[in-house]
Structure 1
Amino acid sequence: MLYGGHIKAPEDIDFLRKLKFDFGEVIVRDKASRSLWANSGVTNQYDDGFFLVAHGPHEGPPNDLNNIWNTYIPALAETVDIIERMGISFLTIHSWMDPRFVKTSVLEEKKNALRRIVDYGRQHKVVISLENLSENAADFEAVLNVVPDLAVTLDVGHGQLLTETNTSFGIIERLGSSIRHVHLHDNRGGTGVRDDLHLGIGEGIVDFPGILRALVGSGYNGTMTLELEKYDLQKGRAKINRIIQLSQE
């Protein structure tokens, strides 16, 4: 596996490289951060093998099609332009596709929006990857049936929210071949954004041994971002690495 952490500012790159992480996930959340990275001079070229991926902006109101088409999709396109110039070729995005909370008509239009941004990404040699929020495997399958070249970013912490059983298991089982990136953090379950605590590994109830065993069993051997505070990164990496080693014995 390849382990990474968040990069919110250029100096975070040196921090992760000193800790011998494999990569960093550049956070491009809003207009200010797009401006920051557009003018940073940072490029995805490092002599030690370190590399960069990216994470795009928040979607905004999930049922507001005007916002999706006129604000969110343009923001994603601008993000693609910026990271292409930085030499980054992988972008994780949000688009809430849970039919419990998003209207059916909106879900259908969102699929068209995702088709649009995936095509735009391809034109600029950037892979677009959709991160699970509260969706289950069936919800994501409905999206991939329309946009089959959309990649999946599996967020195991999000998989613990608004559910009795972590949805990561179903996503791995049914969509394992589409998973291109993983986010790791812990929580105690819950029913909303306030419960997305991003605790250190093992501080919540996420079944990391079970999920990682399933992930490794599916053949995954790619990038994993530890979405943790800086002080938790090394400890989190060691814990995850140990769990994976044990799962292979």
Structure 2
Amino acid sequence: MKLAFSTNAYTNHTLPEAVRRIAGHGYAGVEILGDAPHAYFPEFDADDEAALADALDDTGVAVSNVNANTATGYYDDAPPSSFFEPSVVNPDADLRAWRVDYTKRAVDLADATGAPAVCLASGRPLPGTMPETAYDHLLDSLHDILDYAEPRGVDVGIEFEPELLVESTDEVLTLIDDVGRDGLGVNLDVGHAAVYGEDPRESIEKAAGHITGVHLEDIAGGVRGKHYHLVPGDGDLDFAAVFDALDGVGYDGFVTLELYTYPDRPDEAAERAFEALSRYV
């Protein structure tokens, strides 16, 4: 296993600068935020991709994942609840198609940078849309995305989260079975499992063989704690148990710190997280 750090903590910096800062803290990998202000795909052009490639070449870090969970750049003035909209379960077919195409652009960036996967959240059913209908939209959207991603060798990891359509380990594994495609897995956010009330070790063991990537953060209160991402050591999760479980299921990919809650102190968060977790990798 290797440690990576997500650029979503560095939203006050350009993407190339975020890559260089993360590399400077000793991380082997960097996760690219596939959203504003880093790689919002309708505006991310060839010059931006070249600047990113230069930063990756200069630092030697790998790309662990392209995080396409959100698309707040879609809005001129994004409301606080906009995180996942337009989603792949949106009842409007045109908006749903926009998000599918957006995810394909994330796949293109993963392909160009050698990232093994992109991650995607299901979104939540909007008022007036029954969960069963939203689930049908999700299945259709994922087949469309996978038709594009699989020939390019890029996996798609669904990241479950409390209060979304897919919010637990069991639900994401059911989805993987229902889709029935080798390119679909789970981007396992250990903190999300804990907030939902799951034992992180059990979540990892259940997801064995389907994990496309791992997100880590600490959670105050441990299982069923508050959903607020903390630097490891500032909450109550047992990271020794987490890494032991990952090792036990044979996971040998990147473990990515996702600390978007520290936009004003990203270097401090990156440094402290590396100090807390480097012993495990």
State the TM-score, normalized to the length of structure 2: 0.73
Aligned pair 1:79/2:106, yes or no?
yes
Pairing of 1:63-142 with structure 2 (within 5 A): 64-66=90-92, 69-96=96-123, 103-134=131-162, 135-142=167-174
Q: Where does residue 73 of structure 2 map in the other structure? A: none
**Aligned mates of 1:114, 1:90 — CA distance in 2:** 14
Aligned pair 1:177/2:209, yes or no?
yes
Q: Is the contact made by 2:193 and 2:203 (CA closer than 8 Å) also made in structure 1?
A: no
Aligned pair 1:55/2:67, yes or no?
yes
Q: Is the contact made by 1:43 and 1:87 (CA closer than 8 Å) also made in structure 2?
A: no
Q: Which of these residues, 39, 51, 55, is aligned with residue 47 of structure 2?
A: 39
Q: Which moved more, 1:135-144 or 1:206-215?
A: 206-215
SS of the counterpart of 1:177?
Answer: coil
The structure-2 alpha-carbon separation of the partners of 1:88 and 1:173, relative to structure 1 and needing over 3 Å to count, comes to closer
Aligned pair 1:21/2:20, yes or no?
no
State the TM-score, normalized to the length of structure 1: 0.81
Aligned pair 1:160/2:188, yes or no?
no
Q: CA deviation at 1:49?
A: 4.3
**Aligned mates of 2:124, 2:158 — CA distance in 1:** 10
**Aligned mates of 2:234, 2:31 — CA distance in 1:** 23
**Aligned mates of 1:36, 1:200 — CA distance in 2:** 30
Pairing of 1:183-222 with structure 2 (within 5 A): 183-188=215-220, 195-222=226-253
| Unaligned ranges ≥5, structure 2 | 71-83, 260-265
Q: Is the contact made by 2:91 and 2:134 (CA closer than 8 Å) also made in structure 1?
A: yes
Same amino acid, percent of matched pairs: 23
Q: Where does residue 5 of structure 1 map in the other structure? A: 5
SS of the counterpart of 2:234?
Answer: coil
Aligned pair 1:225/2:256, yes or no?
yes
Q: Where does residue 274 of structure 2 map in the other structure? A: 237
Q: Which moved more, 1:174-183 or 1:209-218?
A: 209-218
Q: CA deviation at 1:89?
A: 4.3
Q: CA deviation at 1:46?
A: 2.9
SS of the counterpart of 1:10?
Answer: helix
Q: CA deviation at 1:24?
A: 0.7
Q: CA deviation at 1:169?
A: 3.1
**Aligned mates of 1:225, 1:37 — CA distance in 2:** 26
SS of the counterpart of 1:29?
Answer: coil
Give CA deviations for 1:22-62 in whole Å, capped at 9, x if unaligned. 01111112597322465311228637642113111423166
Question: Where do 4+ consecutive residues of structure 1 move more than 4 Å?
Answer: none
Q: CA deviation at 1:86?
A: 4.3
**Aligned mates of 1:47, 1:6 — CA distance in 2:** 18
Specify the code of the residue in structure 1 equivalent to 2:257.
L
**Aligned mates of 1:37, 1:234 — CA distance in 2:** 31
**Aligned mates of 1:30, 1:174 — CA distance in 2:** 33
**Aligned mates of 2:46, 2:34 — CA distance in 1:** 10
Q: CA deviation at 1:84?
A: 3.2
